[in-house]
Chain A
Amino acid sequence: MKNLRFGLVAGLALLLYSACSKEPEPGPPLVYDPVPYEIDIPSWFPPMTIPPGNPTTVQGVALGRRLYYDPILHPAGATSCAGCHFQERSFSSGPAILPHVNLGWNRNFLWNGRVQGTLEDIMYFEVTEFFKTDISRLQNHPEYPRLFYEAFGIRQISHELAAKALAQWMRTLISANSPRDQSIWGVPRIFLPDEAIDGAIIFNTERGDCFHCHGGIFFTDNQFHNIGLDAEPAEPGYEAVSGNPADRGKFKTPTLRNIALTAPYMHDGRFKTLEEVIDFYSEGVKKSPNIDPLMKWAHLGGLHLSAKEKSDLLAFLHTLTDSSFIRDPRFKSPF
């Protein structure tokens, strides 16, 4: 629905523009000749659905990257997106700052799911509601009008176009090269330490049962769950969006890709280390009334893992760190 509206708005903008573009504009001639950008999707990942209204182009991705690293999006110029989302920390940093990993396949955004849809939708939210970007700053800039024209063939910069460029760039932030990936799909395959292999078994069986929520290639189901952090959840979570009291205390399952880089943990940043997280799943689970049934041992306070099981699970979580992603020059600041 929202995408459709987005597409219509963009389509309308195109039509309007073509209607008025007959009048020559002052300034140097602008060139609109976008080059398709081939997103580098590894063979073991599913295809990515890209909204037809925003094809990925070299110019669009470059513009999105520049905007992401430029405080110009902030009305007071106080910070850029990268002021909180650090590449070396999987585009996360302090408490509750969600990372940017494989978001091109994501449909539910923010901890409580307040934005659902495409990357264009969440980026539109970021520039309008979160940053409240002042478009005139971009329009009056010596370079951005040209860069937007080269990316979209449109002279009038808008929140929609800024969101589209950011979305194109976000689609390229793919992390798929952790030791875990290399142990399955690498050429040659690498071997994981024994404790990580034992940890994978805990993770992917009902012993630890992590996979039911953090499973699959993305290490998240992209759904909402109350995992029993508190007997009485302090925050409504997904209930604030759905209006359903049964959704109280449910938050989006975060990806566990690069999880060792994104401390502290949980929607309120309550756990400083992965050890604390594992202790929670083992002994700290509270009987919240609408705790997820997949928290299978909630009535006993958790999984009651042995010390060895805990360290195996931890070793496994450490195999999910993709050190090439956090150094990839394509994702660094262009400035």
Chain B
Amino acid sequence: MKHVVIASAFMAAIFSFLSCGKNKETENTVTLRLEHAVAGAPLTLNKIQYQAQSGHRFSVERLKYYISNVVLYRADGSTYESDAVHYREEGIAATAELALGDVPDGEYTRLRFIVGLDETTNKPNGLPPTPENINMEWPIPGEEGYHYMKFEGKYDSMGAGVIKSFNLHTGAAKNQPYYVAVDLTLSGLSVDNDNWNITLQMDLNEWLQNPHTYDFEQFGPGIMTKPAAQQILMENGASLFTVHAAVRE
């Protein structure tokens, strides 16, 4: 019967696919695990409970962002570059890890990447049309591309306790790229025919401080066309991530 033959061919294909996925003796994988915290404590959503340097108490309701242009450096300056564009969404466990392809053996001392997208991907249809990417589109006429980040929540405006919303949407506002360059020191990452996990923690308070105090009240609920706000976030972003662990699997 034709359909049974097709079904079993399909099953056979599935099985061979599953088994070849595990067959990677010669590949070294370095996995970046992206975690989120506020003031050092793991992020919990939807409650006005955090304290910003500007004095406002705030909640976090959504966090979505891209990291891309990941580069690992050896001490002699030679590099391994990944072309991955990784989408991370708080609450979606499947987005927590970014596996960097076949990393050559070596002792790596530095990790750099950007939070956001560069000009090669930040343009109309620059990314594959997955539901996540479509929902990150930045459709402002003349500036089309993608949001780099959506960090949304509410804050107590302190004026008579009025609760307002903030939407820290970063991107190439007015066509100026405001992506965040992250540059981290690694210790002990000596890839030698093995797999590694690096846990990186983004502390959301760092968007709002260091070096500049970001004041929700100053820029209002939306900042997509506000270069001054984008500039502050870009500069604050340098201290966003800390390396929490680099361990051999």
Query: B-contacting residues of A (Cβ < 8 Å)?
Result: 11, 14-15, 18, 21, 32, 46-47, 52, 105, 107, 153, 200-201, 204-206, 209, 211, 215-218, 221-223, 246, 287, 290-299
Contact = CB atoms under 8 A, between A and B. Distances in A.
Contacts of B129: 46-47, 217
A217 B134 contact: yes
Q: How large is the interface on B (under 10, 10 to 19, 20 to 34, 35 or more residues)?
A: 35 or more
A105 B133 CA distance: 14
Given A32-B2, A215-B135, A222-B131, A294 B7 contact: no
A280 B62 CA distance: 24
A18 B134 contact: no
Contacts of A205: 140-141, 224-225
B22 interface: no
Contact of B135 (A18, A105, A216, A293): A216
Given A205-B225, A223-B135, A14 B154 contact: no
Given A293-B62, A299-B164, A211 B3 contact: no
B162 A246 contact: no
A215 B137 contact: yes
B2 A296 contact: no
Contact of A107 (B131, B152, B220, B222): B131
Given A14-B3, A21-B1, A32-B2, A294 B137 contact: no
A32 B166 CA distance: 58
A32 B1 CA distance: 10
Given A293-B62, A293-B167, A296-B222, A14 B135 contact: no
Contact of A46 (B45, B134, B154, B167): B134
A294 B225 contact: no
Given A21-B1, A293-B154, A209 B222 contact: yes
A205 B222 CA distance: 10
A205 B40 CA distance: 35
Given A32-B2, A206-B224, A298 B131 contact: no
27 contacts: A11-B7, A14-B3, A14-B4, A18-B1, A18-B4, A46-B129, A153-B3, A200-B141, A201-B141, A204-B140, A205-B141, A205-B225, A206-B224, A209-B222, A216-B135, A217-B134, A246-B46, A290-B46, A292-B61, A293-B166, A293-B167, A294-B167, A295-B165, A296-B220, A296-B221, A296-B222, A299-B162
Interface string B107-141: 00000000000000000000001110011010111
B91 to A, nearest CB: 10
Contacts of B135: 215-216, 221, 223
Given A32-B3, A217-B134, A246-B46, A204 B165 contact: no
B163 interface: yes
Given A107-B131, A293-B165, A296-B222, A204 B139 contact: yes
A222 B134 CA distance: 11
A223 B129 CA distance: 17
Contacts of A217: 129, 134
A21 B1 CA distance: 10
A14 B154 CA distance: 53
B153 interface: yes
A298 B220 CA distance: 12
Contacts of B3: 14, 32, 153
Contacts of B61: 292-293
B10 interface: yes
A297 B62 CA distance: 18
Contacts of A32: 2-3
Contacts of A221: 135
Given A52-B10, A293-B61, A206 B163 contact: no
Contacts of B224: 205-206
Given A211-B139, A299-B157, 17 more contacts: A14-B4, A14-B7, A18-B4, A21-B1, A153-B1, A153-B2, A204-B141, A205-B224, A205-B225, A215-B139, A221-B135, A246-B45, A292-B61, A292-B165, A294-B167, A296-B220, A296-B221
Nearest to B144: A204
A-B pairs with lowest CB-CB distance, top 3: A46-B129, A296-B221, A293-B165
